[in-house]
Chains A and B, each alone.
Chain A
Amino acid sequence: MVTVADAGGGGLTLRLLEMGFVPGTVVTLVKRAPFGDPLEFQVRGCHISLRAAEASCVRTEPA
């Protein structure tokens, strides 16, 4: 998946951008935690875990 843009605004968006979820970046969903949430993503060479609610701030489209 490729990041398109961050929805919303404010602190979370900024934090996500800073962690590398910038437009045009390739994001891969690695896995879900046992209770279904949070999710683990690979982005810019790192594995980052986000809750589903947080991840929904990142709009993606298939690469």
Chain B
Amino acid sequence: MSAAPVAAELRVALAGNPNVGKTSLFNELTGSRHKVGNYAGVTVETREGAVAARWQPTRSVTVVDLPGTYSLTPVSEDEAVAFRCLHGDEGPPPDLIVLVVDAANLARNLYLAMQLCELGRPLVLALNMMDVAAEAGVPVDAAALSRALGLPVLPTVARTGEGIAALVQEICRFGQVPWDMAEVRGRLFGTPLPAGLAALPPARARWLVAAQASETLGLTGATAEERAALAGVDAGELRALAAALVIGRYAEVDRALAQIGHRGGERAPAMDHSARIDRVLTHRVWGLLIFLVVMALLFQSIFAWAEPLMGVIEAAIAWLSGQVKAGLGPGLFTDLLSEGVIAGVGNVLVFVPQIALLFLFIGLLEDTGYMARAAFLIDRLMARVGLHGKAFVPLLSGFACAIPAILGTRTISGFRDRLVTIMMIPFMSCSARLPVYVLLISALFDGEARVGPFTQASLVLLAMYVLSTVSALAVGAIYKRTLLRSPTPALVLELPPYRLPRVRNTLLQVYDRTADFVRDAGTVILAMTVVLWALLSFPRPPEAVRAGDPVELVAALESPIEHSLGGQFGKLIEPALTPMGQDFRMGVAIVGSFAAREVFVSTLGLVYGIEADDEDNQPLRQALREAKAADGRPRYSPLSGLALMVFFVYACQCMSTLAVVRRETRSWRWPLLMFVSMTALAYAMAVGVFQVGRLLGY
């Protein structure tokens, strides 16, 4: 094996299947001081941290937590990233790989050990969950396993920290241990490769064969020569070879298990307990009922429980901006600071409660193992749209707010499927649209009119939610068949044993995700708020207007917002708004609402010179209801209100959403497509509603 490197710093990569305790081990090793990283191009998270002093490492060791994968075969980005990182295709490879395995489930876990063995890099096995294995009646003899595989095996219990000191010592002995699974590797390499591929590094050649057989060569970054070499092999032969390689690896796993006296996992000892729980939780009646309750709770938490916290943040921001105004006196700089910068910070922070709560929920559901059951229960319905069961939670969250929902798509593997879900989410009617619907419905619809037992108003509101849901599903189906064409992702989902969650690990993840949002998407949202503030403030109206009594003058003349660039744009597009039954005032409000939909209400208030907020907009409703057009007819009708609501169902009027989509897709291409397509669709639908309504005589 390679000699100890000159550099004192030792880089160790943690690899392993999902749910084996990798994150727990990482948090134990590093004392949870770490930074979150990302691989270029894709948002596969990696975390990096130094081994904490309490383990008394004899040298400085950095640990990298890789995404959990069942294998290194590039079926999705996660595996591709893991392989490239371990093989050294992305910068220098780690000095040492620590493979974390679930001791209670060696029959499947050791498969990854065989693939890592092919890499030929120094490898240490952390035999985690020793407590679970012992309890389930399948204790593992670490020394015997070590002999059977030919590499160091260290028993650990990541949950309690047991065995970690010994693991750290073993890591620090790097370079002095000659074991490298040479015997096993010799047998694994016994399967001959076609001539054209024999010249490649053996692990990479096998990796490319698997990629070619599963038609995912695009994920591998294969060179032209490699592609040519693969193309030279008959497709059927290649598939047979890929299968033979897998079978050969499992044969080695079985050999090692036989050697330590384990029979090849016909039982699932660690699942005995969970299977009993599943009799209820995936039961055809109780299971579905509990699923509904859990999802209702999740939804309630981001829809309602986040509200008080958001209120506190909004109040704090308002207070701060008031202090700034009072302290600095009126002026341009004060406005920039209070209405641009501070408001921008507020626009970022206001999402934090929802994001934190959603990730708290997702974290707990994943840690306990329920998330997999939820996907299992709902997959049938999601598969109809061509999506994975795991897309359900993010889509549902979209009804509360698109921002956390889009961040929540990280649980979906496969970039295309993630992207389809991301493109669907903004169509879900988020809570910010509600104040707009409520304002328009209460202002323009007859509150007394009833259809059967229901009021007309509630039916209109319901119709908006149905329309948004149906549209989201339709859009998903369309993307799935056109731009992001891909087969319905295979389910192949492990239902892991139920475990009590560790709150500390979940909270750490909540912190990571939230901090990541504030840092990355936050800066874009802040910048956009400042730009939008400038657009809606400049040029300023003549002094006389501003100095006068705001309500009267503004109503009579022109409000500052109308005078601004944004306002003038609203007027400019009035001819385009007429076909959807709107006038320039609505145009100005629509432009303003691009900051966030709920701003529509206050912007419209500004145009009408009325202070209005979400809760109390009685005067504004009155003004809308009584506004008359030049010919003396009412300016707005129920039909124009309906058209405007339909516009809001479809329009992507939320720069924060666009900022987050850019963050998650790492390019402006998708947010741009999202904005343009949604706005065009919104316009077309609103015009359609208004014109058809007119034809029908409304």
Q: Which residues of A contact B (CB under 8 A)?
A: 6, 9-20, 22-23, 25-26, 30-31, 33-38, 40, 42, 44-51, 54
Contact = CB atoms under 8 A, between A and B. Distances in A.
A17 B243 contact: yes
Contacts, number: 139
B471 to A, nearest CB: 24
Q: Main secondary structure on chain A at its contact with chain B? A: mixed
Given A37-B379, A46-B105, A51-B491, A22 B250 contact: yes
Contact of B379 (A11, A18, A19, A38): A38
Contacts of A54: 490-492
A31 B319 CA distance: 57
Contact of A18 (B246, B268, B495): B246
Given A17-B247, A19-B108, A44-B264, A34 B383 contact: no
| Size band of the interface chain B makes with A | 35 or more
Interface in B473-495: 490-495
A47 B491 contact: no
Nearest to B235: A9
A31 to B, nearest CB: 7
B213 interface: yes
Contacts of B264: 25, 44
Interface string B106-136: 1110010000000000000000000000000
Contacts of B283: 34
Contacts of A33: 282, 376-377, 379-380
A16 B494 CA distance: 12
B376 A49 contact: yes
Contacts of A22: 246-247, 250
A35 B380 contact: yes
Contact of A9 (B213, B216, B247, B494): B213
29 contacts: A6-B243, A9-B243, A11-B214, A13-B243, A14-B210, A14-B214, A17-B246, A19-B70, A19-B494, A20-B107, A22-B246, A25-B264, A33-B282, A34-B285, A35-B380, A35-B381, A36-B380, A37-B379, A37-B383, A40-B495, A44-B264, A45-B104, A45-B107, A46-B494, A47-B271, A47-B275, A49-B494, A50-B492, A51-B491
B71 interface: yes
Nearest to A37: B380
A23 B250 CA distance: 10
A47 B379 contact: no
Contacts of B108: 19-20, 44-46
B75 A30 contact: no
Given A11-B213, A45-B265, 13 more contacts: A10-B239, A12-B214, A12-B490, A17-B246, A19-B70, A33-B377, A37-B380, A44-B108, A45-B107, A45-B267, A46-B108, A47-B268, A49-B495
A16 B264 CA distance: 17
B266 A26 contact: yes
Interface in B361-419: 372, 376-377, 379-381, 383
Nearest to B497: A47
Contacts of B107: 20, 44-45
A59 to B, nearest CB: 13
A33 B107 CA distance: 25
A49 to B, nearest CB: 5
Nearest to A27: B266
Q: Which 4 A-B pairs have the closest CB atoms?
A: A11-B214, A45-B265, A35-B380, A9-B239
Contacts of B70: 18-19
Contacts of A26: 266
Contacts of A15: 73, 75, 214, 490, 492
B192 interface: no
A36 to B, nearest CB: 7
A25 to B, nearest CB: 8
B33 to A, nearest CB: 33
Contact of A51 (B214, B242, B377, B379): B379
B247 A38 contact: no
Interface in B660-692: none
Given A26-B266, A33-B376, A40 B494 contact: no
A32 to B, nearest CB: 8
A42 to B, nearest CB: 5
Nearest to A12: B490
A40 B376 contact: yes
Given A11-B215, A17-B246, A18-B111, A42 B271 contact: yes
A14 B282 contact: no
B236 interface: yes
A34 B214 CA distance: 31
A33 B215 CA distance: 30
A48 to B, nearest CB: 6
B284 interface: yes
A48 B495 contact: yes
Contacts of A19: 70, 108, 492, 494
Contacts of B210: 14
